[in-house]
Amino acid sequence: MNFDFDIDFNALFANVCECFSQLSYGWFLTTLIGILVVAFLVQEFYYFYFYRSYIRYSNKINRSTIHFSYRKPPVSVIICARNEAENLQKNLESILQQDYPNFEVIVVNDGSTDYTEDVLTIYKDKYPHFYHTFLPEEAKYISRKKMALTVGIKAAKNDILLFTDADCRVESKDWISEMVKNFDNETEVVLGYGAYLKKNTMLSRLISYDTFTILLQYWGFALKGIPYMGVGRNLAYRKSTFMANKGFVSLMNVQSGDDDLFVAQVANGKNTKIEVAPKSITYSEPKVIFRDWFIQKSRHLSTSPYYKSGVKSLIGTEVFSRFLFYLSVLLLLIFGDVFLRCVVLAIFLFRFLTQLIIINKSAKRLNERKFHFDIILFDIFLPLTSFYIMVFSRRAQQSNYKWK
């Protein structure tokens, strides 16, 4: 029996290649969908578990289930100033005139070359509870601000220390009262909010968004028992805690970190509280030039490699999942069919609504500005900026380092 086969090998090869191509394409889309779903769930977890913690805490305060101490113990307010004569003239009096029964204000003049000393002398003659000291210009330290703070802390008469900067102003005479009411027998650290004044510029909106979302993150972590940072513009802790931990001795090899790294060193889930009252907020002028903000951002990020590994993992997971979320959304919108694109857009909009509601509801309670579609722009731009700083701007961080 004879069989006559007439096989078109070229056609067969083309069909096999097409099958593999379709299979590879299917696996590509399936993988992207899987990445999108996982990244979306991780993002939702962070927003509802960590970032929404402030709203839940605020609700508990409104229901009077959070109790505060109203003993009004003596307080020492400490401010470090370097060439801050103008800011001290604008802001210092609002701190000296606080409605609080027993407090002192100490300004450490850190080698200023302007007329800071003259301004401090005027206030010393006017307010008996005001004191000032200095750190000589010729003193050589890796971190002058830590040394200046140490001088102020050692000069303080009281155990409860409240910190802010010379360029910060307080809008309420109850700032000290609101921050100090959190101190009970267990409390050693209180994390306040150092906001930026609202200006009608895109850079101002970017700075506000960056500052506010970082606040929601470190407040949320603290409320979940993982405090890892505070900001020196509005921070309180005990002098006894500072002394027991040998102050900044272990941090003196780092130029920055007098606030966040020290908080990470001494704070825990039991001894740390946050203060959320609008009357407790301090305000600073935002940078007006992008380069100045970039340098400031570089300085802030210079301490992040020194965070505890668990905290770095938590922060890194959020940022990495955000990157995967936007990347998978983009690729699926390019390569997916009409139905898949609709599903992807629905997921994208759901996450955006989560951000919009949680961020703006929190912002309203803290008298912060509202954010709209610029959330998406900032949400993408800020991690890219941080990545660039961390990877490519190490030298710039050192060469452009400033006192504050």
3-state secondary structure 322-370: HHHHHHHHHHHHHHCCHHHHHHHHHHHHHHHHHHHHHHHHHHHHCCCCC
What is the pLDDT at residue 254? Answer: 78
- CA 204, 212, 160, 93 dihedral sign is positive
List of residues 6+ apart from 11 with CB closer than 8 A: none
Closest to 307 measured CA to CA, from 191, 397, 218, 187: 218
Q: In sequence order, which ranges of 46-194 are alpha helices (DSSP H)? A: 53-62, 85-96, 116-126, 144-155, 175-180
How does residue 292 score in pLDDT terms, banded at 50, 70 and 90? Answer: very high
Q: What is the DSSP letter of 304?
A: G
Structural domain includes residue 164: yes
Which of 33-47, 152-166, 286-300 is least confident? 286-300
- C-alpha R_g of the chain: 26
The answer to whether residues 51 and 358 touch, using CB atoms and an 8 Å cutoff, is: yes
Question: For the chain, what is the domain count?
Answer: 1
In angstroms, rounded to a whole number, what is the distance separating the alpha carbons of residues 252 and 141? 8
Q: How far is CA 169 from CA 127, 150, 163, 308, in A?
A: 18, 22, 12, 32
In angstroms, rounded to a whole number, what is the distance separating the alpha carbons of residues 347 and 276? 32
In angstroms, rounded to a whole number, what is the distance separating the alpha carbons of residues 374 and 383? 15
The mean per-residue pLDDT over the stretch 141-164 comes to: 89
pTM above 0.85, yes or no: yes
Structural domain includes residue 326: no
Hey, what amino acid is at 174?
Answer: D
pLDDT exceeds 70 at position 365: yes
Structural domain includes residue 307: no
**Residue-averaged pLDDT of the chain:** 89
Q: How far is CA 68 from CA 75, 210, 216, 217, in A?
A: 17, 30, 21, 23
- Largest separation between any pair of C-alpha atoms in the chain: 121
Structural domain includes residue 175: yes
Structural domain includes residue 298: no
DSSP secondary structure, 206-219, as one string? HHHHHHHHHHHHHH
The answer to whether residues 51 and 322 touch, using CB atoms and an 8 Å cutoff, is: no
Structural domain includes residue 62: yes
The mean per-residue pLDDT over the stretch 160-168 comes to: 96
pLDDT exceeds 60 at position 17: no
Structural domain includes residue 311: no
State pLDDT tens for residues 81-112. Answer: 999 999 999 999 999 999 999 999 999 998 88
Domain that holds residue 275: 54-287
Element (H, E) at 65: none
Strands (E), 198-267: 235-238
How does residue 23 score in pLDDT terms, banded at 50, 70 and 90? Answer: very low
In angstroms, rounded to a whole number, what is the distance separating the alpha carbons of residues 123 and 280? 23
In angstroms, rounded to a whole number, what is the distance separating the alpha carbons of residues 110 and 132? 11
How does residue 143 score in pLDDT terms, banded at 50, 70 and 90? Answer: confident
Structural domain includes residue 277: yes
State pLDDT tens for residues 112-132. Answer: 889 999 999 999 989 999 999
What is the pLDDT at residue 331? Answer: 93
In angstroms, rounded to a whole number, what is the distance separating the alpha carbons of residues 176 and 198? 23
Q: How far is CA 333 from CA 30, 36, 337, 341, 342, in A?
A: 14, 12, 8, 5, 9
List of residues 6+ apart from 241 with CB closer than 8 A: 188, 189, 266, 271
The enclosing domain of 102 has a CATH number of 3.90.550.10
What is the pLDDT at residue 16? Answer: 43
The answer to whether residues 149 and 165 touch, using CB atoms and an 8 Å cutoff, is: no
